[in-house]
Amino acid sequence: KAGVTQTPRYLIKTRGQQVTLSCSPISGHRSVSWYQQTPGQGLQFLFEYFSETQRNKGNFPGRFSGRQFSNSRSEMNVSTLELGDSALYLCASSFRDRVTGELFFGEGSRLTVL
């Protein structure tokens, strides 16, 4: 079974630009969550989608948005990039509806904002 796939793996942007990251969950998984990982703040929850609906949202500004498609693939978008958005963005998928299930993480998309 293929794992969670995130693209692109690495990208460099400049301040003010926008970026779109993609996540393909494990086949059959309907929940997709996004996390931001930085050395200073650690892993922070961005949002979660389940069956194309945003179910939870973390404390991030509106510049951070996401969506999920009918095939469970998800994208997140960051507009008007700031230097502080440089981070590893992790996607995780889960089959189960609740967190008693296991989250399967991708390798992440490393974003550098110059």
Partner 1 sequence: AQRVTQPEKLLSVFKGAPVELKCNYSYSGSPELFWYVQYSRQRLQLLLRHISRESIKGFTADLNKGETSFHLKKPFAQEEDSAMYYCALSGGLTGGGNKLTFGTGTQLKVEL
Residue 100 interacts with partner 1 (CB under 8 A): yes or no: yes
Q: Which helix (H) or strand (E) holds 9?
A: none
- CA angle, corner 104, sides to 6 and 72, nearest 5? 60
Residue 94 interacts with partner 1 (CB under 8 A): yes or no: yes
Check if the beta carbon of residue 94 is closer than 8 Å to that of residue 33: yes
Measured from the CB atom, the residue of 50 and 67 that comes closer to partner 1 is 50
Scanning the structure block, which residue is given the tokens 């510049």?
63
Check if the beta carbon of residue 78 is closer than 8 Å to that of residue 19: yes
Residue 102 interacts with partner 1 (CB under 8 A): yes or no: yes
Residue 52 interacts with partner 1 (CB under 8 A): yes or no: no
Size of interface with partner 1, in residues (CB under 8 A): 27
Measured from the CB atom, the residue of 25 and 85 that comes closer to partner 1 is 25
From residue 21 to residue 40, what is the string marking binding to partner 1 with x (rule CB under 8 A)?
----------x-x-x-----
Min dist CB 94 to partner 1, Å, is 5
Check if the beta carbon of residue 82 is closer than 8 Å to that of residue 13: no
